[in-house]
Amino acid sequence: MERFIADEKRYERMKYRRCGHSGVMLPEVSLGFWHNFGGVDVYEHCRETARYAFDHGVVHFDLANNYGPPYGSAEETMGRLMDDDFRPYRDELFISSKAGYDMWPGPYGDWGSRKYLMASLDQSLKRMKIDYVDLFYSHRYDPNTPLEETLQALVDIVRQGKALYIGISRWPLEALKIADKYLSERDVPLLIFQDKLNMLNREPQEQGILDYCADNGIGFISFSPLAQGLLTDRYLNGIPQDSRMSKGKFLKQDMLTPELLDQLKAWNEEAQQKGQTLAERALRWILEQRGVTSVLVGASSKEQLAKNLKCVE
């Protein structure tokens, strides 16, 4: 591929929202590397999607230590992208990573200990070939590690200059409140909460997480905003061979019940009547909810991403 020179108009098409009570603006649409950027995927294809994203103002790339497959390989792809295309644009990118799920064998490669978080971030930085991440997350709540241990590790990571901001993902409301207080008292305010919010899963609203974030100056980013593809036209007429559902691990075929399919078709029809796609409507719905900063989409092609970007009005 030819040398990457970013589109001069890249900031004209995207809208940015302030992330809680912070100096950080995030694009309404961010790009996740959970699927489609691993060692099993074709690098030039990943590169095309990442370039397209950046050229359209999608400056936030979201990763985690174990994205791939295999684990770690999405971060290696990010490292290659830095070398090939994005190094000159590092200061225009907002890169996040996480630790919290299983990453390596033994007692120190999982959950929320200081031992795990510190070692994992060091590994992530090496794989991504960067000196710091803009945002580092505790990827999940650990009921067995004292919250203070996890939170102090996050504070120290910022003090060491390895992350600029801290986020948490999938913590229950009561733990979120403790994290908010602990981090604020140490002058490392919680930047953002990451959770699954979409038209099929409204738990963060029902559990009061979104309201808490909105009321307390914490940003909120919605992962799997398209319910892994269900909230698009992908499955309206069967299960395509190359789809995430046919690959089977995270999006199971039995999720697509006749009732759900009817619901999706009805939403699709409603969207079409308004001149929208179902994906556009689903993303717009999230962006209209109180407290939401960004939707964190996945895309297996730049064409999908292009369609999803239509939700930015």
Ligand X SMILES: NC(=O)c1ccc[n+]([C@@H]2O[C@H](COP(=O)([O-])OP(=O)(O)OC[C@H]3O[C@@H](n4cnc5c(N)ncnc54)[C@H](OP(=O)(O)O)[C@@H]3O)[C@@H](O)[C@H]2O)c1
Residues that bind ligand X (CB under 6 A): 32-36, 62, 139, 169-170, 194, 223-229, 232, 234, 243-244, 279, 296-300, 304, 307-308
Nearer to ligand X, 216 or 224 (CB): 224
Of 151 and 227, nearer to ligand X (C-beta) is 227
Which residue, among 164, 186, 102, has the nearest Cα to 139 in the 3D structure?
102
CA distance 234 to 242: 10
State how far the Cα of 232 lies from the Cα of 224, in Å rounded to an integer: 12
Of 95 and 299, nearer to ligand X (C-beta) is 299
Give the end-to-end CA distance of the chain in Å, rounded to a whole number: 31
Closer residue to ligand X, CB minimum distance, 157 or 279: 279
Cα–Cα distance for residue pair 48/44, rounded to 1 Å: 6
Can you tell me the distance from the alpha carbon of 176 to that of 36, in angstroms, rounded to the nearest whole number? Answer: 30
Q: How far is the CB of 207 from ligand X (least distance, A)?
A: 15
Provide, rounded to whole angstroms, the least separation between the CB of residue 40 and ligand X. 12
Listed in sequence order, the residues at least 6 apart from 273 whose beta carbon sits closer than 8 Å to its beta carbon are: none
* Cβ distance to ligand X smaller for residue 36 or 120: 36
- Find out whether 30 and 296 touch, Cβ atoms under 8 Å: yes
Q: Minimum CB separation from ligand X for residue 110, in Å?
A: 14
| CB neighbour list of residue 212: distance below 8 Å, 6 or more residues apart | 173, 176, 177, 180, 218
Residue 3 CB, nearest approach to ligand X (Å): 27
Q: Shortest Cβ distance from residue 138 to ligand X (Å)?
A: 10
Query: Could you tell me which residues are beta bridge partners of residue 18?
Result: 25
CB of 232 to ligand X, least distance (A): 4
3-state secondary structure at position 91:
helix
Closer residue to ligand X (CB): 31 or 158: 31
Nearest to 193 by CA among 98, 119, 72: 98
Token readout for 55 is 């050229």
